[in-house]
Amino acid sequence: MATLTPLRTILLSMVASRPIPKIIIEPPVIVEVYSYHTLVTPFAIEKTYIGEKITVESEVGVTMIVRSKNSSNRYKIFEAKLTFLHIFDMKEEIMRLVNVAPNDIPKEVIDQLASISFSKAIAVLISLQDRMEIPSLVPIPTLKSEEENNAQKA
């Protein structure tokens, strides 16, 4: 199967939530990110705003969980589900996928759709996290005195 290249990828729906923070987690903090991709509809020939094309809907879900390294308690800090409509040209290799059950679609095709969906989802997810004021979990370097730095170099 050749590389799938959609003519358009449109964000159809987006649902995101952030629980109200109730606890301060002591550093060091471990962040766990879980994600999934699934087909919502099979490949189908439909009339779109750019003519009769092949379409498929896919869904991406992401959950972020944090915990302190010193504790086993886990806290969900962000959850999102995004649905995309992918529109493809009427090529013979894609036509073979029309009305095929999602379980029968080759793994290579599913992986390519997942890659396309996640690449589109990243910008939306970053924007959502910023809008929901989820702190960026960037490690803070330990400041060392000039003497400590010189001692390390020697």
Query: Three-state DSSP class for 67?
Result: strand
Distance, first Cα to last Cα, the chain: 57
Rounded to an integer, the average pLDDT of 118-132 is 86
Q: Is residue 37 part of a domain?
A: yes
The total domain count for the chain is 1
Q: How many helices (H) and strands (E) does the chain have?
A: 3, 5
Kindly report, residue by residue over 42-82, the tens digit of the pLDDT. 999 999 999 999 999 999 999 988 888 888 888 888 899 99
Q: Is residue 84 part of a domain?
A: yes
Q: Is residue 12 part of a domain?
A: yes
- Beta bridge pairs of residue 62: 35, 80
Q: Is residue 93 part of a domain?
A: yes
Kindly report, residue by residue over 129-151, the tens digit of the pLDDT. 888 877 655 444 444 455 555 66
Extract the tokens encoding 14. 């987006």
Q: For residue 57, give the amino acid letter.
A: E
Q: Is residue 72 part of a domain?
A: yes
Rounded to an integer, the average pLDDT of 116-135 is 85
Extract the tokens encoding 68. 């302190």
Q: Is residue 1 part of a domain?
A: no
Q: Is residue 153 part of a domain?
A: no
- Residue, of 129 and 88, whose pLDDT is higher: 88
Kindly report, residue by residue over 22-45, the tens digit of the pLDDT. 888 888 888 888 999 999 999 999
How many Cα atoms occupy the beta-carbon half-sphere of 45 within 13 Å? Answer: 9
Q: What angle do CA 11, 104, 110 make, to 5 degrees?
A: 35
Identify the domain containing residue 77 by its residue range: 8-140
- The DSSP letter of residue 148 is H
Q: Is residue 30 part of a domain?
A: yes
d(CA 133, CA 29): 18
